[in-house]
Structure 1
Amino acid sequence: MIWEEKPDRERYQIPDLMVDLSFRVKGEELPVDHLYALSAQIIERLPWLTDEPGSGVHPIHLAEVASGWQRPEYHSNSRFYLSRRTRLRLRLPRVRIDAAEQLTGKTLEVDGCELTIGASTVKVIEPSTTLITHHMAGKEDENENTFVHRLVEEMGEMGIKATKLLCGKTHRVQLMESPVNTRSLLLADLSPIDSITLLYKGLGPMRHFGFGLFIPHKGISAVRERQGQG
């Protein structure tokens, strides 16, 4: 955990290069551990996705607690039910919107579960002082301190100084060959330029599989209160 105060932010002209393309979906259920299976199905149909820096498939939202900070446990056979509000979201360059909309009408097979892709809506990406990614890839036997310091160094190479950072507990996410350790990562008190840099570029490897893709988070007070109770 890192927590430093930061000076007042500068004004910043926001570019309009990346978007989140949000699709309606129809289906009954999905595996909780669906990142690889879902991304592989989409990449099979949109192979250019892996060549676009910062692009990837967002994990489909699950029921959550603690203001989105804590997620359901990952188990190999666990499932969650989809609702009418469930969306599939892709982060991609604005110039790729038409190409990605080819998914509409397709039915994906995700570990034995069918997911039919419906109409899409373009969501503008705007900076937020607080960002979260629910899956940041870690290294084998990497403890929390090593994980945090490695990411601080990576952000430093991007010109970003992390002053408020919290990471969650480790989950094991299954990829094709072997499981990967992941943690959630929350960054707070970001400047507009640092925020949009992380939103556009992501952090760490395998972003096309949903790792290191950030989304805005409403606030950090509930997270700190929850951690204080632990």
Structure 2
Amino acid sequence: MLMTEQGSTSRELGLLPYVELSFGVIGQTLPADHGYGLYSAIAHLCPEIHEQEGVSIQTISGKPDGEGRIYLSRQSRLKIRLPYEPAKISLLLPLAGQLLTIGKHEIQLGIPQIFPLYPVDKLRSRIVTIKKFQEPEPFKEAAQRQLDALGIQGNLILPLNETGEPSRKAIKIKTYSVVGFSLMVTDLNDEDSLKLQAFGLGGKHRMGCGVFSPFPRRARSVYE
């Protein structure tokens, strides 16, 4: 059964409501870097997605094995963020129950639920890519310019890795790699939180880049 919840917060703020389609995932493993492969598998079944504006596809969470794979769990989900428009949503509903092949891995999708976005004052993106900006400080300045262009006020932070350096990430697209950084934005008001979740930063949103989400519950206390 398709479950829908439509919050009023976005409407109250004068924004076009965005929602997330959340598909349960059945499978064992995926490549840790699966953004491009996931998008390709989805587009094979729903080719109209190429022409749809405002669609973001988040990578599927799992436990890294340290060898370039992740192990999936009952909590693993495929989440697709898009405007709350019936025509757009209907294009993706055929994914329900489908088998996706990503490299040598296979996953089966469940029946989607639809959830509204909700505002929180801290958001993060695992990787944000901005063309021509591959060093931390110029990248941060470029990201700040994009925040300013969206009219979003917040504190932009580049999280540090185990060695104390900004957390540099990369995704592989066919034969080349795109470099980016993890980003956090804190001190957001409700309107700016929803706006950042709707529009994101940088490029490659359909491959899991530039999509901002609340911190997982287990990690929130670290940043509070």
For this structure pair, what is the TM-score category when the shorter chain's length is used for normalisation? Answer: 0.7 to 0.9
Aligned partner of 1:190 in structure 2 is 188
Partner of 2:53: 53
Q: Number of aligned pairs? A: 203
Q: Deviations over 1:16-42 (max 9, x none)?
A: 621111101111111111111011111
Contact 1:140 1:181 survives alignment (8 Å)? no
Aligned to 1:28: 28
Question: Matched residues, percent identical?
Answer: 28
Q: Distance in 2 between matches of 1:48 and 1:134?
A: 26
CA offsets per residue over residues 123-163 of structure 1, 9 Å max, x none? 11111111111110145673211111110011111112333
Q: Letter of the 1:129 partner, please give it.
A: D
**How many Å separate the matches in 2 of 1:178 and 1:151?**
23
The answer to whether the Cα contact below 8 Å between 2:17 and 2:83 also exists between their aligned partners in 1 is: yes
Which contiguous aligned blocks of 4+ residues in structure 1 show a shift greater than 4 angstroms? 138-141, 218-221
**Distance in 2 separating the partners of 1:55 and 1:141:** 23
SS at match of 1:84: coil
In structure 2, runs of 5+ residues without a counterpart are 1-10, 160-165
* Residue 203 (str. 1) matches residue 193 (str. 2): no
- Specify which of 76, 91, 107 is matched with residue 86 of structure 1: 76
1:74-103 superposed Cα distances (whole Å, 9 cap, x missing partner): x7x621221222111111122222321110
What is the rounded CA distance, in whole Å, between the counterparts of 2:221 and 2:72 in structure 1?
A: 29
Distance in structure 1 (CA, Å) of the matches to 2:130 and 2:202: 9
Does the 8 Å contact 2:170/2:180 carry over to 1? yes
Superposed, which structure 2 residues align to 1:65-144 within 5 Å? 78-95=68-85, 96-139=88-131, 142-144=134-136
- Contact kept in structure 2, 1:53 and 1:201, CA below 8 Å: no
Tell me how large the CA RMSD over aligned residues is: 2.4
Higher RCO, 1 vs 2 (CA within 8 Å, ≥6 residues apart): 1
8 Å Cα contact 1:172/1:181 also seen in 2: yes
Evaluate the alpha carbon distance shift between residue 221 and residue 26 of structure 1 in structure 2; reply closer, same or farther with a 3 A threshold: closer
Q: Report the residue type matching 1:105 in the other structure.
A: G
Distance 2:12 2:173 in 1: 38
